Amino acid sequence: MNSHHLLPVILCGGSGTRLWPLSRETYPKQFLALSGNGVSMLQDTALRLNGLSSTIAKAPPLVVCNAEHRFLAAQQLHDAGLHGAQLVLEPMGRNTAPALTLAALTATQQSILLAMPADHVMTQPANLHRAVEAAWPLAQDGAMVTFGIVANRPETGYGYIQKGHPVQGGAAFGIQSFEEKPNQELAQSYVDSGNYLWNSGLFMVRTDQWIKAMEALQPAMLEVCREAMAQGSRDMDFIRPHTGTFAACPSDSIDYAVMEHLPRNDALGVPARVVPLDAGWSDLGAWDALWDVLEHDTDGNAHAGHTLAIDTRDSLLFSESRLVAAVGVNNIVVVETPDAVLVVDKRCTQDVKKIVAELKAQKRSLASSHRKVHRPWGWYDSIDSGERFQVKRIVVNPGASLSLQMHHHRAEHWIVVKGTAEVTNGDKVLLLGENQSTFIPLGHIHRLTNPGKLPLEIVEVQSGSYLGEDDIVRFEDTYGRVMPATNAYKE
């Protein structure tokens, strides 16, 4: 038994549409620093087990994320000082049960998987450590353990777990039943009874026991995942299941696919257990949940960024770039980003996803991307545009390089604002310092590299008949984004 090690599996999918306009498809909530500590939710999740008992051997985390977010996830893990992490790239989202199955097929048989969604907040990680330590011997013995949040209010937005018989001296319980999201009256009766816990979406299970449960309960899902992994590939630090094969995978959550079946399947040999957890947990599903976890002023307002509130109560004011000022309002949420402003009654924050649906119906990019776009080499911000021109602010990380590329429809003028730029422009290689510039004619092969130790910042002025991001032909790329068959733009 002592040969087992804990493998944190961070489930990093999801788009966080209820936290628009801050969370968008290309930069969803798990990559945002929302709780005021400057650490993203992914980083916070990956660091959450620091301080766990040394009697439990812990491996570097395994992150299951969307393939389009791979560089973002890898960079954030690196920035948090987490080295040796594996990243399994889902070609498309298929919910948490296939994601955990891909992780199990990647892990060793000695692994005990601890599945943790990347978009949760826990303000008391020491209590999580105690819960994990209580669950550890149960998982070693073959149980599938979930963690039930101690309910402190009649919440109608969560599912509930009814505790069964106590085990391990009351540190854990069997599971009597799983209950769907209740109405207010039923939720109150659950809390009053003291017999129900919120369903957190955290799970601990031995690799072989998860596979056994999948073989019995979801054989089609398991078979597709096995084939996708067998036909997949590895490059850099990424594990890539086969896209075409994985596309046929059924979509389901860990709860529905496996966990809720276990109490009725004793013969399966995978007992279901729940460990109570009181760790300041929130799933930050919507803006009202963020208001809950942030500090409040004397009027009950939560602030982030440049904000001012006068005669305002119980509200959330969130600013990314400009002053957000509120006067004489109560119980609202105002969220400002450089390209969108949201104003919503705090009681209606679950309906923010309807705005995203409407933007998608109108085929507007605001649903999916920010004005500021992250790339594996850094980021760019489209600060102005008009007919036949566009202006971008571009920041390149130290030692990073854009692809060697060419455009059919636009010319570019680069001005160095900060740092040093190494520029390939046709058959010339130039070294440019601050306030120096170069012009790249239409059709010229070019590349931008930061050879220095500080971030490189340039202003790029584009001009031409078409300025779309898909007007790019890549010839070489450090990040594997060239498509050999056509050299076409990939991401």
CATH of 5-282, one of 3.30.1490.100, 3.20.10.10, 3.90.550.10, 3.30.2320.80: 3.90.550.10
Closest CA to 455 of 356, 377, 368: 377
Residues in the chain: 491
Closest CA to 65 of 34, 23, 93: 93
Determine the pLDDT at residue 36: 67
Distance CA 302, CA 300 (A): 7
CATH number for region 372-476: 2.60.120.10
Q: Say if residue 123 is exposed, middle or buried (CB neighbours under 10 Å; 0-12, 13-18, 19+).
A: exposed
Task: Identify whether the C-beta of residue 401 lies closer than 8 Å to the C-beta of residue 449.
Answer: yes
Q: What are phi and psi of 423, to 5 degrees?
A: -120, 125
CA angle 12, 16, 20 (to 5 degrees): 145
Tokens of 445: 């092969």
Bridge partners of 131?
Answer: none
Which pTM does this prediction carry?
0.86
Instruction: Return averaged pLDDT per consecutive 10 residues of the chain, 491 residues in all.
Output: 85 89 93 84 95 92 94 91 93 95 94 96 94 96 95 89 91 93 92 93 96 96 97 89 96 94 90 95 91 94 96 97 97 96 96 95 91 90 92 96 95 97 95 96 95 96 92 87 42 36
Bridge partners of 422?
Answer: 431, 449
Angle in degrees, 0-180, between the axes of helices 207-217 and 96-106, rounded to the nearest 10: 130
Determine the pLDDT at residue 479: 81
Q: Greatest CA separation found in the chain?
A: 76
Query: Residue type for 77, please?
Result: L
Q: How far is CA 304 from the centre of its chain?
A: 20
Classified as helix, coil or strand, 194 is coil
Bridge partners of 179?
Answer: 160
| Residue 421 neighbours by CB under 8 Å, 6+ apart | 396, 414, 430, 431, 432, 448, 449, 450, 456, 458
Tokens of 442: 């239409």
Exposure string over 417-455, b if 16+ CB within 10 A, otherwise e: eebbbbbbbeeeeeebeeeeebebeeebbbbbbbebeee
- Alpha-carbon torsion (230, 106, 173, 163), positive or negative: negative
Computed on alpha carbons and rounded to an integer, the radius of gyration of the chain in Å comes to: 25
- Give Cα separations from 421 to 129, 340, 374, 462 (angstroms): 47, 32, 19, 18
Determine the pLDDT at residue 2: 55
Bridge partners of 121?
Answer: 282
Tokens of 488: 């076409």
Exposure string over 212-229, b if 16+ CB within 10 A, otherwise e: bbbebbbeebbebbbbbb
- Give Cα separations from 434 to 216, 287, 294, 327, 437 (angstroms): 64, 42, 41, 44, 8
Distance CA 447, CA 452 (A): 15
Domain ranges within the chain, ordered by starting residue: 5-282, 287-361, 372-476
**Helix/strand/coil percent split, the chain, to 5:** 25, 35, 40
Determine the pLDDT at residue 488: 35
